[in-house]
Structure 1
Amino acid sequence: MSAKYKTALLLLIATISTITACKYRGVGPGHGEKPIISFKSVEGITFIEVSRKQKSNGLSYNEYGYHLTPDWRLRFVSADSAALYSPVKDAFFNFPLALGTDSVFNIAHAFLKMKKMSKDSLVFELLEAQGDSIDIHKSRVVMRLFSEDYIKNKLHTDFKDLQRASKNDTLFVRGLVTKADADIKKAFAASQPVQMVSKKPFVTVVKRKTKPSLLDNKYATDDDYLTPVYDIVIHKAYQDFDYSFEATIDSAGTWHYNKPLVPFLGDEQVKDNYIKVSTAVMNTYLKLFITTLPGETLGMKHASTISVNVKGLTAAK
């Protein structure tokens, strides 16, 4: 074990020990004697997350379209390390595992509290962290994982089937779609964001993508669908220009201008002109030369908001 690895592990253990001790101080007798959690009984077993839900209502979606995506694959390697799977690298990577009292542990920057543990399944809650402290009594998310053997040989299914949205999730999202169709101001993030396809060679469209990082515990790049950003370049434009604005794409793929995304420092005349010209760019170049497909969630098309950076160049491509 490297010195850097040992240092990180000791810091994590010290942090959890201090935090849990502080939280239990004065709560009642016997709390300080709770044993440190052990994963010895499930070491070497690969667990796959099959659901991640809000503790309050059992849903995986919220009113803003944020989806609690079950994307963990976890294997406890030893008393002080666990492995997490990276879909980008298609491999497991070991991380320091810090163990605390009352079933609290830390891995890859996440503080978790084990609720149920067996060789078939794990259930734990994601604890809320603020700075260098956590509240071991407060959690909003419940994560459930099944072992590969349990999924294959006992449930006789595939983990992707288990990860599908529940009936309640579907009903909830359908309700959001209905509201967004009736009032575009109630647009919400689409799990499958807006797609743009250029109709002309002199127009290019690139959707920005966040690079996932296993070290930052970001398997899913949520910003890619919660706040999608598109960079559009138009060659042979009537003049050089550069505009950034927010727009909503409705369920029919129609553009609706929302607001500019640059500051104006109180100059209303400049702001009004910016809005006027950038709206004209949207209504001409973008609507005429780009096929816009609306965002979808669970197969349902709906209004969603995007950010656009449009650059016009008089020179040909």
Structure 2
Amino acid sequence: MMPLYSFTKGQILPLSIVFMLLTSILPSCNRKEEKIRPSFKPVLGMQFIEYRREFDNGLAFNEYGFQQEPAWKLYFLSEDSVMIYSPFEKKYYHYPIYHDHDSVFNIAREWLRLKQLNKDSLTFQLLSVDRKQVSRERSNVLMKFYSYRYLEEVLKKDPVFLRRPGPQDTLFIRSLVERANRNPANADSSFAARQPVQLVSTIKEIKVSKLGLEYDPNNLLNISSADTYLKPEYSITIDKAYKDFFHTFTVLVDQKGRFHVDTFITSPEFTASRRKVLEGIVDVYLQRFLQVVPGSTLGMPHTSQITFHVRGKK
């Protein structure tokens, strides 16, 4: 290769020659570093259904009781657009596909890395992105799809059956249930019930309503029912109470439907007296006049935490 410098008399090669040398080298280097964008062309028009959503350990649940639920149905119209089914509106909606880099796409306001694609199956990694930075720790969820053709002609299985939690999920939940029920008054041992606690008043003076998320038609795919079972809240009104009051506090509801006062906000010097007041309200009104169905996961009752907003009217 011709040297860039001529050491004879300290002469330098003309800039035009240097530029030609650089431009002949740099493109070949860039081609090695660039990764080709994955193509959706092999599956255009093919319908896929998500049959499994799981953490990278292969389980659909975590230790807090949060469940990854498969929900998407989709088909690609082109390299840059996709149709995704809304279970709320019961119809497909069009969404653009934005390619970021490598195999990372933004689809329906979710950041996804394409892991695998063929006419039978499709796998995305769900990415957690904050300020353009991907959190490796929280990007630990896989979305797995089968094509309808593969389900009908090869597997010959109903996707509803495939979407159910598997044997390993059941074993994991059973271990959490056993721990929670050994320590019914310990919040650290409890976990969120996939079927939350149910409360029904047995007298007209007490009214109970469960607070929850409202349907948002502008956010069809990102609505999650998770908060309604991870942090269930109940508004309770007691007529003809001993005095007017309002308290917000959490309780642990064990597998037998018993309430254990857990957390509340007060000054340190009033902790003991406030706990006594709350336990009195629970024992006199709530435990006596509420029919309680304890929370459960995969059909197994267990201790879970709920929040009460209790208003007394004299």
Structures share fold, TM-score greater than 0.5? yes
Q: What displacement does 1:71 show?
A: 1.3
3-state SS of 2:161 partner:
helix
Matches of 2:214 and 2:145, distance apart in 1: 25
User: 2:74 is matched by which residue type in structure 1?
Assistant: L
Who is 1:221 aligned against?
225
Who is 1:62 aligned against?
62
Does the 8 Å CA contact 1:247/1:259 hold for their aligned counterparts? yes
**CA displacement 1:73-111 (0-9 Å, x = unmatched):** 222222322222221111222222112443221112211
- The structure-2 alpha-carbon separation of the partners of 1:31 and 1:226, relative to structure 1 and needing over 3 Å to count, comes to farther
User: 1:197 is matched by which residue type in structure 2?
Assistant: V
Who is 1:37 aligned against?
38
Does the 8 Å CA contact 2:88/2:220 hold for their aligned counterparts? no
Who is 2:87 aligned against?
87
Q: What displacement does 1:240 show?
A: 1.6
3-state SS of 2:140 partner:
strand
Does the alignment pair 1:297 with 2:297?
yes
Who is 1:46 aligned against?
47
Matches of 1:135 and 1:192, distance apart in 2: 30
- The structure-2 alpha-carbon separation of the partners of 1:230 and 1:137, relative to structure 1 and needing over 3 Å to count, comes to closer
Does the alignment pair 1:114 with 2:118?
no
Matches within 5 A, 1:159-308: 159-184=159-184, 185=186, 186-213=189-216, 215=219, 217-260=221-264, 262=265, 264=266, 266=267, 268-269=269-270, 271-308=271-308
Does the 8 Å CA contact 1:237/1:313 hold for their aligned counterparts? yes
**CA displacement 1:184-206 (0-9 Å, x = unmatched):** 32010011111111111222111
Q: List alignment gaps of at least 5 residues for structure 2.
A: 1-28
Matches of 2:137 and 2:105, distance apart in 1: 14
Matches of 2:296 and 2:137, distance apart in 1: 36
Who is 2:147 aligned against?
147
Q: What displacement does 1:212 show?
A: 4.4
Does the 8 Å CA contact 2:211/2:235 hold for their aligned counterparts? yes
- The structure-2 alpha-carbon separation of the partners of 1:87 and 1:70, relative to structure 1 and needing over 3 Å to count, comes to same
3-state SS of 1:225 partner:
helix
Does the 8 Å CA contact 1:52/1:68 hold for their aligned counterparts? yes
User: 2:225 is matched by which residue type in structure 1?
Assistant: T
- The structure-2 alpha-carbon separation of the partners of 1:139 and 1:244, relative to structure 1 and needing over 3 Å to count, comes to closer
Does the 8 Å CA contact 2:86/2:221 hold for their aligned counterparts? no
Who is 1:132 aligned against?
132
Does the 8 Å CA contact 1:69/1:220 hold for their aligned counterparts? no
3-state SS of 1:207 partner:
strand
Matches of 1:238 and 1:135, distance apart in 2: 52
Matches of 1:103 and 1:136, distance apart in 2: 16
Q: What displacement does 1:183 show?
A: 1.5
Matches of 2:258 and 2:149, distance apart in 1: 48
RMSD: 2.2
User: 1:95 is matched by which residue type in structure 2?
Assistant: Y
Does the 8 Å CA contact 2:253/2:304 hold for their aligned counterparts? yes
Q: List alignment gaps of at least 5 residues for structure 1.
A: 1-27
Q: What displacement does 1:304 show?
A: 0.4
Q: What displacement does 1:219 show?
A: 3.7
3-state SS of 1:179 partner:
helix
- The structure-2 alpha-carbon separation of the partners of 1:307 and 1:79, relative to structure 1 and needing over 3 Å to count, comes to same
3-state SS of 1:291 partner:
strand
Does the 8 Å CA contact 2:86/2:220 hold for their aligned counterparts? no
3-state SS of 2:113 partner:
strand
Q: What displacement does 1:39 show?
A: 1.2
Q: What displacement does 1:30 show?
A: 4.9
Matches of 1:196 and 1:119, distance apart in 2: 48
- The structure-2 alpha-carbon separation of the partners of 1:267 and 1:251, relative to structure 1 and needing over 3 Å to count, comes to closer
3-state SS of 1:139 partner:
coil
3-state SS of 2:306 partner:
strand
TM-score normalised by structure 2 residue count: 0.83
User: 1:37 is matched by which residue type in structure 2?
Assistant: P
Q: What displacement does 1:267 show?
A: 5.6
Q: What displacement does 1:31 show?
A: 5.5
3-state SS of 1:178 partner:
helix
Q: What displacement does 1:234 show?
A: 1.4
- The structure-2 alpha-carbon separation of the partners of 1:137 and 1:69, relative to structure 1 and needing over 3 Å to count, comes to closer
Structure exhibiting the larger radius of gyration computed from Cα positions: 2
Indicate the percent of aligned positions where both proteins have the same amino acid.
38
Aligned residues: 282
